[in-house]
Amino acid sequence: MFSIEFAQSKVLQWSLGALVFVYFIVFYSWNTDATVSARMLESMRYVCPPYFQSCELFYFLDTLPDGYSQTILYMAFFGLLAWCAYFISEKAWRFAQLTLIPPFMWHAANVLLFTDNRSGNYEYYLISFGLILLFFPHKEFFLKFTIVFFYILSTAAKIHPSWIEGTYFTTLRTGLPLFPNWSIPLVTNVVILAEMIGSWFLLSQNKKFQRTAFIFFVLFHLYSGILVGYRYPATVLTFVLILFGPWYRYTPVPLDKKAFVGWVFILLIVCFQLSPKLIYGDEKLTMEGNKYGLYMFDANHQCFSEAKIHSYDGSIRVRSNRSIIARDRCQPYEYWFPLKKMCEQDESIKQIEWQFTHSINGGPFYKIVDIQNACNLIYAPMRHNEWIKTEKDAEIMGYPVKNIYY
């Protein structure tokens, strides 16, 4: 666990405190959230990750008003976090790390295995910070390097009309905060360039460059919080302030054998980030592989799903859903998954006719799914699913109006 590194670095000590702070914020919102609870399983409103479609065994906790088990668990985590804060104050670094392992495991399992609905970008940051602070050697270097690398990798999701043309924001009723509509493409391209190139200077030995980059990214996170709320800046800005703020010092590149695990991790996140590009079609429209890397502000989504459930007795039920706001990720998979589970569990269902129509960034509404029986479909997580049409072969159904964001 390389606890000795904490004793030698004020930056790492504060980073461990920041990790406690961020877990507190996450669990504060998960404490009463029913996303991974027995109730969701019973009402078939859960969605497993596409690469682990049988996650049901983890839906055993009862959330209020059904029972106390979930809140008991989260209060146990509260106790561990408080205990960790005590160990930090006592400079008992190994014990502080040990108390954080259960929150780390629970958080990472929720994000990566238990559900498809908790895979926010800031959760990926938190998993990375947790991995490095709890398990990796050369913690200070890899924390700094990972943040800068995430800035660069996040631009892979931004090389898209959403950002290059700024259509994500120009097709919002409220536009971009504080900037007029005509300037939106300028602002979005400045952000792409700053993340792609400007973030290098966060690691610079040149004080002027380093400070300029630091101030830019602090302002960027404060500004982006107007749109995304507290969670993202609370997770990332906290670490940016600690690692690149007044305490910044150049950290030599580790090249010993111990550093191997850190470099493998860096290469892995590159592979995950680029994996959606290997899947045929625009991943912002088909949403295939979209969440395997950072996808923040992928596209301004509008969609609706129409399913006709045919029973053996001849009756037909209609089940319709639609997106409500721009950041409702319109994954066909997410709409198909409950239909598939219905087919498996309800023997009276003969077939489910299903259509799914999706528009991104104010572009046409494409009918990307139009099939006779959703029960017969299989979703492959790592390649293009033929039953999901792309922008090249889907029928255009109409055009959207400006979307809303909140």
Partner 1 sequence: MEKVMEESKVGLYDIYHTEDGTRLIVLQGLNAEDTIALPFLQQQIHQQYDLISSLYWILFSVSLMYMLGIHIIIPLLKKLRLY
According to DSSP, residue 172 is labeled B
Closest CA to 308 of 320, 297, 298: 320
Q: Closest approach of Cβ 29 to partner 1, in Å?
A: 24
**Does 304 help bind partner 1 (rule: CB under 8 A)?**
yes
Q: Which of 159, 215, 222, 278 binds partner 1 (CB under 8 A)?
A: 159
Q: Which of 7, 75, 222, 255 binds partner 1 (CB under 8 A)?
A: 255
Nearer to partner 1, 182 or 347 (CB): 182
User: Cα separation of 237 and 70, whole Å?
Assistant: 30
Q: Which of 323, 351, 355, 373 binds partner 1 (CB under 8 A)?
A: 323
Structure tokens at 98: 């040990």
Give the number of residues in contact with partner 1, rule: CB under 8 A.
50
Kindly write out the interface string for residues 349-378 of this chain, putting x where it contacts partner 1 by CB under 8 A and - elsewhere: --------x-x--x--x-------------
- What residues numbered 170-209 form the site for partner 1, per CB under 8 A? 170-171, 173, 181-186, 192, 196-197, 200
Q: Where are the alpha helices (DSSP H) in 197-298?
A: 207-228, 231-244, 260-274, 283-286
Asked if residue 342 lies in contact with residue 44, where contact means CB atoms within 8 angstroms, the answer is yes
**Does 270 help bind partner 1 (rule: CB under 8 A)?**
yes
Burial track 228-242 (b if 16+ CB lie within 10 A, e otherwise) = beebbbbbbbbbbbb
Question: C-alpha 320: how far from its chain's center?
Answer: 26
| Strand ranges inside 276-348, DSSP E | 301-311, 316-322
Query: Residue 14 CB: number of other CB atoms within 10 A?
Result: 18
Q: Which of 77, 122, 149, 214 binds partner 1 (CB under 8 A)?
A: 149
Structure tokens at 263: 């470099």
Residue 24, amino acid? F
According to DSSP, residue 253 is labeled P
According to DSSP, residue 384 is labeled -
Q: Which of 17, 67, 161, 381 binds partner 1 (CB under 8 A)?
A: 161
Stretch that binds partner 1, among 1-9, 15-23, 107-115, 391-399 (CB under 8 A): 391-399
Q: Which of 24, 95, 263, 280 binds partner 1 (CB under 8 A)?
A: 263
Closest CA to 319 of 304, 330, 329, 303: 304
**Does 128 help bind partner 1 (rule: CB under 8 A)?**
no
Q: Which of 93, 104, 145, 201 binds partner 1 (CB under 8 A)?
A: 145
Nearer to partner 1, 125 or 365 (CB): 365
Q: Closest approach of Cβ 325 to partner 1, in Å?
A: 9
Q: Closest approach of Cβ 359 to partner 1, in Å?
A: 8
- What residues numbered 275-294 form the site for partner 1, per CB under 8 A? none
Q: Closest approach of Cβ 357 to partner 1, in Å?
A: 8
Burial track 172-191 (b if 16+ CB lie within 10 A, e otherwise) = beebbeeeeeeebbebbeeb
Kindly write out the interface string for residues 222-251 of this chain, putting x where it contacts partner 1 by CB under 8 A and - elsewhere: ------------------------------
Ramachandran quadrant class, 276 (left: phi over 0; alpha: psi -120 to 50; beta: rest): alpha
Structure tokens at 5: 């590194």
Nearer to partner 1, 280 or 304 (CB): 304
Question: What 3-state class would DSSP assign to 310?
Answer: strand
Binding site residues, partner 1, CB under 8 A: 145, 148-149, 152, 155-156, 159-161, 164-167, 170-171, 173, 181-186, 192, 196-197, 200, 253, 255, 263, 266, 270, 302, 304, 306, 320, 322-324, 357, 359, 362, 365, 397-404
